[in-house]
Amino acid sequence: MPPEKQDATMARRQRHAVMIPYPAQGHITPMMKLAKLLHARGFHVTFVNTEFNHRRMLASRGAAALDGGVPGFRFAAIPDGLPPSDADATQDIPALCRSTMTTCLPHVVALLAELNDPASGVPPVTCVVADAIMSFAYDAARRIGVPCAALCTPSACGFVGYSHYRQLVERGLVPLRDAAQLTDGYLDTVVDGARGMCDGIQLRDFPSFIRTTDRGDIMLNFIMREAERLTLPDAVVLNTFDDLERPALDAMRAILPPVYTVGPLHLHVRHVVPKGSPLDTAIGSNLWKEQGGLLEWLDGRPPRSVVYVNYGSIAVMTNEQLLEFAWGLAHSGYPFLWNVRPDLVKGDAAVLPPEFLAAVEGR
């Protein structure tokens, strides 16, 4: 067999995983770590972003990060069904959930067909790994006859909490009667018979999407639906380990397909992906431009001497609230590392007064 035909045959035999994260930072990051681990173990990887997040990654990391700099690791993009919005801000999460659930399936089906075309130049798709709240991907994988694994990015305990949402609704505990129940002690109600959760668990201990007065609330119903559809994939993967969450994992294994604990992913990546290799440095998941030098700054401080403040990728606040945090940090007297996203302040840019900057100079 000519060498070029032999190479093509080998490529067609290589395992090919299509990774489909939910399009928010806290979901993209663990999916990217899992994708790197699979690539390091010999998989061809196609990592699927929404077009919106694809543009954000181009802006934050540069075109070189998405142009095939690592052989066998490619990026693809699909529409998210939402109108254009601020290119450097987290999209409205309820709207994004509703849109991915209702519009993304045909785009993923079309992408899988494109990848399986012999003219594509990539190995045929052999499996799909989708975020556990992108359950339309299970249906897409089934259409082409390949297995699909779900990556559950919350903790096992978090998923078990979601799995009880239907029961909470049927028992009349959710939704709340009115907003007063947020503060009048109602959330202290003990929920008996919550499989996989500790005795004496209270309503306030469940993931907070139950804190609504609307039975039609998008997030309540979306999470309830996606948790129930986690019975459909061929496997469920969690970024945790058994000794940390055994009761919750036992509860999941009683009702779900095979459950695999692969955490902590960041530690596995550190051990498996060679430091400084293209897979380590050329491919990243940040939707915002990273600021360099932070680890070096931390290394220059004594252990346990720095206050770290990070609001995640979704929370927003007013400028007044930002100032309250700022002066709290100033009055603490400690050095601090404060992550202030460009979109943290609602409708405006984050502005810190000169007197605050003077008060914390050198910290």
Question: pLDDT tens digit string along 338-360?
Answer: 998 888 887 666 778 889 988 99
Does pLDDT of 2 surpass 80? no
Distance linking the first and last C-alpha atoms of the chain: 66
Q: What is the 3-state secondary structure (H, E, C) of 148-203?
A: EEEEECCCHHHHHHHHCHHHHHHCCCCCCCCHHHHCCCHHHCECCCCCCCCCCCEH
Q: Which residues contact 89 (CB under 8 A, 6 or more apart)?
A: 342, 343
Q: Is 17 helix (H, G, I), strand (E, B) or coil?
A: strand
Contact 206, 168 (CB under 8 A): yes
**What's the pLDDT at 9?**
53
**What's the pLDDT at 3?**
45
What secondary structure does DSSP assign to 206-224, as a single string? Answer: S-GGG--S-TT-HHHHHHH
Provide the whole-model pTM: 0.89
**What's the pLDDT at 316?**
87
Does pLDDT of 93 surpass 80? yes
Residue carrying structure tokens 């009048």:
184
294-360 domain in CATH 3.30.479.30?
no
User: CA-CA distance, 144 to 121, in Å (whole number)?
Assistant: 18
Average predicted confidence (pLDDT) for the chain:
92
Percent of the chain with pLDDT over 90: 75
**What's the pLDDT at 215?**
97
Does pLDDT of 281 surpass 50? yes
Domain boundaries, the chain: 16-158+218-282, 168-210, 294-360
User: CA-CA distance, 254 to 247, in Å (whole number)?
Assistant: 11
Q: Which of 10-14, 88-92, 105-109, 152-156 has the lowest average pLDDT?
A: 10-14
Among 142, 137, 152, 136, residue whose Cα is nearest residue 46:
137
CATH superfamily of this structure's domain 16-158+218-282: Glycogen Phosphorylase B; (3.40.50.2000)
User: CA-CA distance, 309 to 351, in Å (whole number)?
Assistant: 17
Is residue 106 within a helix (H) or strand (E), and if so which, with residue range? helix 105-116
**What's the pLDDT at 111?**
98
**What's the pLDDT at 1?**
44
User: CA-CA distance, 157 to 251, in Å (whole number)?
Assistant: 9
Q: Is 64 helix (H, G, I), strand (E, B) or coil?
A: helix
Among 59, 42, 33, residue whose Cα is nearest residue 280:
33
pLDDT classification of 86: cutoffs 50, 70, 90: low
Of residues 10 and 284, the one with the higher pLDDT is 284
- DSSP structural state of residue 7: H
Does pLDDT of 10 surpass 60? no
Q: Examine domains 16-158+218-282 and 294-360 and report if their fold is the same.
A: yes
Among 235, 285, 295, residue whose Cα is nearest residue 265:
285
Q: Which residues are catalytic?
A: 27, 131
**What's the pLDDT at 28?**
96
Average pLDDT over residues 147-153: 98
Residue carrying structure tokens 């998008």:
218
Does pLDDT of 6 surpass 50? no
**What's the pLDDT at 87?**
63
Percent of the chain with pLDDT over 70: 94
Question: pLDDT tens digit string along 31-75?
Answer: 999 999 999 999 999 999 999 999 988 888 877 777 768 999 999
Does pLDDT of 192 surpass 70? yes
